[in-house]
Amino acid sequence: MKGIRFALAGLLLAASVAPVCAYGNTGVPPQWAKYVEQVRAADAIADMEARCLAYPDLPGNQWPAGAAQAQCALLRKPLYSLDDIERLSATAGGRAELEHGFRRLMKQSRRKGEHRDQMFASYAAFDASERAGQVAKQWLERAPESSFAMLAGGVHYAKSGAKARGRQYASQTSDEQFDRMHEAFAEAMPLLLRAQEREPRLSVACYWLSYIGRNISKELQRQALAHCEKVDPDSYYVALERIRASEPRWGGSSEALDEAVALAAKGVRRNPALGGLLGRSVGYRFTLGGDFPADLIVPPTRMGPNADLLGRAGRSISHTSFDPNWEDIVYLSQAVRFDPDDEQSHYIRAWVLVNRYRDPLWARADSDAALRLDPNELEYVYLRGRIAQNTEGVVAARPYYQKAMAVPKHHRAALIGWCSSFDPAQEPDMADDCSRQAATEFPTAREALLLRARALYITGRPGALEAVKQFLMADEIPMYLEEAAQMRNEWLPRLQGDKGVAERSPAASSGQRSR
């Protein structure tokens, strides 16, 4: 009886939810074996810059020398964490330390070498989060004349506006999103302008002013970008903003885009990070959406280490190739290497690892990353439930499946997964209610009928015999042949006999649920 009681938990999902091995895939093709081994080892490193540097480069690339390493340097930890700034800004000595540290970094950030563009990396701490906004406000209140404190608040509000705006085209963006964007930008602009006025070399300020201008004012964008090009022409971020402003979707042209990329190429020797922009012109059309063959998207990725293009290549391969050759993992891994915040590539890599390569243990970190970046995306929630079921047990998957039931295409599988998490011997009422719902909504689904039969039989409740017969009458599928045989040989004789409910129910003597 113990074998049928809850060893079935991993098998009770719909056919769309393929069971996966919890111990990893050993079928990596020989040509990718070393690459995959290095990627897995690198993924275990917590520090994003060190992790990036530990990654193998894309095989067959033609990236400029040092471009990958320079891109990794852009992921360096900020000079000061939010906690550091909160603590230091509380005292006069600490505020002086912040001024000295940021002023020195500002100078180093504009020079060739290991600190190139690190001012941008350090201000990455001031994201759109409430915590970042609180620290920025507190710092400015304590140091109202500090250009660096003004910049912190300006960057926070600019990113808040960017988050409110989203990444969709204007036609796909709601008025409410635009309103929140404008409100945030209205807070950001005076802070950024004051910071730039007091310290003209702060290219972080003109970069974000140019971003704001691209969205609300061509004149602001033009002036801000011109200032950036004057004070920090070889900055990766300035070159990136120049390229974006040159794109046709932002009012530029193909010719202007070619010129902007060519200008970036000229500066690669002075700033190798610019090598990451070399495929932006050739690959521009692939960033506009739509499906493109992988053989068209791959060539621009070989020109320079660009996370966006690498991710698009990996996603294209995963969508169009049904050959489990691990090439999709190769490109998706490069994408999350250079952009740990690329939620789509994290999600697709997790999806591919689960569905194609049967490796939920590796997929778990990607799934967690995608959920961290967008905890409300129910596709991510559903996949995390599947991974939890295969790596942590069905009970751990319960909250994910419950939430994912709101997705129509996943409702059946999520409901079955959720119901399978209730042990009839330990949670008889929930097992009864949930299995009834599943059998009612999906009366011909064999996995739902199995849930119902199991719940009624183990709890000894009325209707068990009919539920078992109904399951056995359904079309047999290989996944449930063993369960069907046990029902015929053990359950039916007991249910059809004259023994009492308590004696024939396994609930009184059942062991703990198999995990």
Is 267:239 a contact under the CB 8 Å cutoff?
yes
Query: Over the stretch 52-74, which tens digit does the pLDDT of each residue have?
Result: 999 999 999 999 999 999 999 99
Of 133, 136, 151, whose CA–CA distance to 194 is shortest? Answer: 151
Quick one: pLDDT band at residue 173, thresholds 50, 70, 90?
Answer: confident
Is 195:205 a contact under the CB 8 Å cutoff?
yes
pLDDT at 41 over 90: yes
pLDDT at 503 over 80: no
Q: How far apart are CA 467 and CA 488, in angstroms?
A: 13
Query: Over the stretch 384-398, which tens digit does the pLDDT of each residue have?
Result: 999 999 999 999 999
pLDDT at 514 over 80: no
Q: How far apart are CA 366 and CA 212, in angstroms?
A: 31
Q: What is the pLDDT of residue 251?
A: 92
Average pLDDT (23-34) is 75
Residues 6+ apart with CB under 8 A from 101: 79, 80
Residues 6+ apart with CB under 8 A from 398: 418, 421
Q: What is the pLDDT of residue 92?
A: 97
pLDDT at 20 over 70: no
pLDDT at 360 over 80: yes
Is 464:436 a contact under the CB 8 Å cutoff?
no
Is 64:268 a contact under the CB 8 Å cutoff?
yes
What's the burial of 70, exposed, middle or buried (CB within 10 Å: 0-12/13-18/19+)? buried
DSSP state of 488: I
Average pLDDT (19-27) is 48
Q: What one-letter code names the amino acid at 82?
A: L
Q: How large a percentage of the chain has pLDDT more than 90?
A: 80
Of 38, 124, 110, whose CA–CA distance to 76 is shortest? Answer: 124
Q: What is the pLDDT of residue 160?
A: 97
Could you write out the DSSP letters of every residue in 46-86?
Answer: -SHHHHHHHSPPPTT--PPTTHHHHHHHTTPPPSS-HHHHH
Q: What are phi and psi of 208, to 5 degrees?
A: -75, -30
- Provide the angle, in degrees to the nearest 10, between the axes of the packed helices 360-373 and 30-43: 50
For the chain, give the mean pLDDT.
89
Q: How far apart are CA 490 and CA 471, in angstroms?
A: 14
Q: How far apart are CA 439 and CA 452, in angstroms?
A: 7
Q: How far apart are CA 336 and CA 72, in angstroms?
A: 11
Could you write out the DSSP letters of every residue in 186-197?
Answer: HHHHHHHHHHHH
389-396: long-range contacts at Cβ-Cβ below 8 A with a sequence spacing of 24 or more?
A: 389/9, 389/10, 389/13, 389/417, 390/10, 390/19, 390/20, 390/21, 390/22, 390/354, 390/360, 391/22, 391/360, 391/361, 391/364, 393/515, 394/9, 394/10, 394/420, 394/421, 394/515, 395/421, 395/515
- Residue that the structure tokens 């596709």 belong to: 379
Is 407:433 a contact under the CB 8 Å cutoff?
no
Residues 6+ apart with CB under 8 A from 199: 106, 147, 148, 205
pLDDT at 432 over 50: yes
217-225: long-range contacts at Cβ-Cβ below 8 A with a sequence spacing of 24 or more?
A: 218/251, 220/189, 221/245
Would you state the structure tokens that stand for residue 55, as one six-digit string?
A: 């990654």
Q: What is the pLDDT of residue 168?
A: 78
* Strand, coil or helix: 424: coil
Q: What is the pLDDT of residue 291?
A: 80
Cα 151 vs. chain centroid, distance in angstroms? 28
Query: Over the stretch 187-213, which tens digit does the pLDDT of each residue have?
Result: 999 999 999 999 999 999 999 999 999
Could you write out the DSSP letters of every residue in 255-271?
Answer: HHHHHHHHHHHHTTTT-
Is 204:118 a contact under the CB 8 Å cutoff?
no
Query: Over the stretch 232-262, which tens digit does the pLDDT of each residue have?
Result: 999 999 999 999 999 999 999 999 999 999 9
Quick one: pLDDT band at residue 145, thresholds 50, 70, 90?
Answer: very high
Q: What is the pLDDT of residue 102?
A: 97
Query: Over the stretch 212-223, which tens digit does the pLDDT of each residue have?
Result: 999 999 999 999
DSSP state of 284: G
Largest CA distance in the chain: 93
Q: How large a percentage of the chain has pLDDT more than 70?
A: 90
Q: How far apart are CA 252 and CA 267, in angstroms?
A: 22
Give, rounded to a whole angstrom, the gap between the first and last alpha carbons of the chain.
16
Is 156:127 a contact under the CB 8 Å cutoff?
yes
Quick one: pLDDT band at residue 169, thresholds 50, 70, 90?
Answer: confident
Q: What is the pLDDT of residue 476?
A: 67
pLDDT at 38 over 90: yes
Of 189, 183, 203, 117, whose CA–CA distance to 150 is shortest? Answer: 189
Q: What one-letter code names the amino acid at 225?
A: L
Average pLDDT (333-350) is 96
Would you state the structure tokens that stand for residue 50, as one six-digit string?
A: 């060190």
Q: What one-letter code names the amino acid at 135?
A: V
Q: What is the pLDDT of residue 507?
A: 44
pLDDT at 22 over 50: no
The better pLDDT of the pair 130, 486 is held by 130
Quick one: pLDDT band at residue 475, thresholds 50, 70, 90?
Answer: low
Would you state the structure tokens that stand for residue 134, as one six-digit string?
A: 């609180």
Q: What are phi and psi of 252, to 5 degrees?
A: -90, -150
Is 198:215 a contact under the CB 8 Å cutoff?
no
